[in-house]
Amino acid sequence: MTSIQLASRTLLSATEASEHAYHVQTRGYSIIEGFLLPSECELLRHAMLEANARYKPIAGSERSALDANQLHDLMATDINFARLLEDPRLQQLVAPHLGEHWIMYAATSSSIPPRGKNYASRLHVDSPRFVPGWAFNMGLIWTLTDYTVENGAVKVLPGSHHCEAAPSEDLFERNCIQVTCKAGALIIFNARLFHRTAPNFTDHWRHSMTVNACRSFMKQRMDWVRFIPVEIAAQLNDQARRLIGYDTRLPSSLEEFFVPEEKRLYKANQG
């Protein structure tokens, strides 16, 4: 299998990182163009399309059917998606908002079929918690195809993360902007930003990979340490393993609790 390698990517300059942090704090989002190489986008896009074709909803689960084009297990089945977490630039972009020990809450693909839409087309936020001036969650979107007005680029209401109340559908549509960018961009946004995917009016799929990041003391959507096979996790760098949750595991016995400091499952001083 061809493997992407992001662990040695060149860091953003201090000025770049500061500007992206400012955009996220004020308008609620920022775009980093050229975050992935075209070859990396092609590899991930192909794998995502194949995974969509294999997907079978869980019998009796309406949510499983609704999530047909939003897969939750790609990092558990394909190491190339897990390797996205090795990128050192993620720490520069997310830590200013969630602290240096942030972890991954959720990892979900976002694919829109030709002439279709997905469950994310509803107006929503990705974090139900609201505390003025304090972020619980951040969103990351790796665009694997161009994001255009025609193919369902995400719509956002700039600055709406500052307000607890949801905008009306009419207010949102009159004031939102569509975040258009080339394949390979990374979009980072405050998870309290009101947004939705737009319909795809083209004859081609629109693909992206998303991660919801949270603070280290919060529960993750999945028990990623158990969900992602050891064979995949063991090949990842320390940052990726931290994001999966290897530094925030809980002891299940007194024997696991009473261990030397360096062997603690839940590392100290993480909030």
For tokens 């949510």, the residue is 63
Q: Which residues of 170-207 are buried (b: 16+ CB within 10 A; e: fewer)?
A: eebeeebeebbbebbbbbbbbbbbbbbbbebeeeebbb
Q: Which domains does the chain have, with CATH numbers?
A: 14-263 (2.60.120.620)
**For the chain, how far is it from start to end, CA to CA, in angstroms?**
38
Q: How far apart are CA 264 and CA 249, in angstroms?
A: 9
Q: How far apart are CA 199 and CA 246, in angstroms?
A: 38
Q: How far apart are CA 200 and CA 112, in angstroms?
A: 6
**Are 186 and 140 spatial neighbours (Cβ–Cβ below 8 Å)?**
yes
Contacts of 106 (CB under 8 A, 6+ apart): 72, 210, 211, 212, 220, 221, 222
- Tens of pLDDT along the chain (271 residues) come to 688 999 999 999 999 999 999 999 999 999 999 999 999 999 999 999 999 999 998 898 988 887 888 999 999 999 999 999 999 999 999 999 999 999 999 999 999 999 999 888 999 999 999 999 999 999 999 999 999 999 999 999 999 999 999 999 999 999 999 999 999 999 999 999 999 999 999 999 999 999 999 999 999 999 999 999 999 999 999 999 999 999 999 999 999 999 999 999 999 888 7
